[in-house]
Copies of this chain bind each other. A is one copy, B any other.
Amino acid sequence: MARNPERRAALVDAAVEVLAREGARGLTFRAVDAGAGVPVGTSSNYFTDRDDLLAQVDARIHQRLAPDPSVIAELLKGPKDRSLVLEFMRDVLARAVRDRTGYLALFEMRLEATRRPALRASYTKSVRGDLVDGMDFHRTAGLPGGDETVTVLYLAMLGLLLEHLTLPGVLDGVLPEVTVPDGLVERIVATIVPDSAPEKD
């Protein structure tokens, strides 16, 4: 296996682009080589097979979409109430909208996972890990609502991201007073998260 880390990252980013632009079926080593502008055959020196490439794509998008720890730390200085949950959800949304390509590639990976057991296993572990981490974070931070709240909120945000990133015209203006996506995130949080008083330590 070749070990140039910058070239590896460039190849994986090219794979993310190919996934979003052409769909999972378009993801071949040859398309990745072309996307990264490297000689044909380069990818095969960096990835053992397509499942290995997909696992590295998963890890890479994860890294690209990860929250900025300093943003999270700053937000955590505020009261641990519903408005803080809204700030976190706004941050999730902003990151997804900023890296729309990465997020669309994640949706392609989900559909590809229905066809590839190895990807399904690794990707399930990764998505479930994120959800469980989200529950732990919510609990540890003392935010209102329990694991069920976090799960329902997660599903509504997943639905919002799918709708807004693939067919933005569906939600736009459907609620006359609610902007999309910002106002809608606010309505999602107000509907799902209990309006408890801020906790005092």
Residues of chain B within 8 A (CB-CB) of A26 are: 25
In the complex, what distance in Å separates the CA atom of A24 from the CA atom of B24?
Answer: 9
Q: Which residues of A184-198 are within 8 A (CB) of B?
A: 184, 187-188, 191-192
For this chain, the copies found in one complex come to 2
A70 to chain B, nearest CB (A): 29
- Tell me what chain A mostly uses at the interface: helix, strand, loop, or mixed: helix
- Contact, CB under 8 Å: B149 / A191: yes
Q: Is A91 an interface residue (CB 8 A)?
A: no
Tally of A interface residues using CB under 8 Å: 51
Can you offer 7 A-B residue contacts whose CB atoms are under 8 A?
A: A20-B114, A23-B111, A111-B166, A148-B175, A151-B174, A152-B188, A156-B192
Segment at the interface with B among A1-9, A37-45, A121-129:
A121-129
Which residues of A pack against B, CB within 8 Å? 20-26, 104, 107-108, 110-115, 120, 123-124, 127-128, 131-132, 147-149, 151-152, 154-160, 162-163, 165-167, 169-171, 174-175, 178, 184, 187-188, 191-192
Instruction: Indicate whether A152 sits within 8 Å of B110 (C-beta atoms), given known contacts A127-B167, A162-B162.
Output: no
Residues of chain B within 8 A (CB-CB) of A110 are: 107, 162, 166-167
- Contact, CB under 8 Å: A187 / B148: yes
In the complex, what distance in Å separates the CA atom of A22 from the CA atom of B155?
Answer: 26
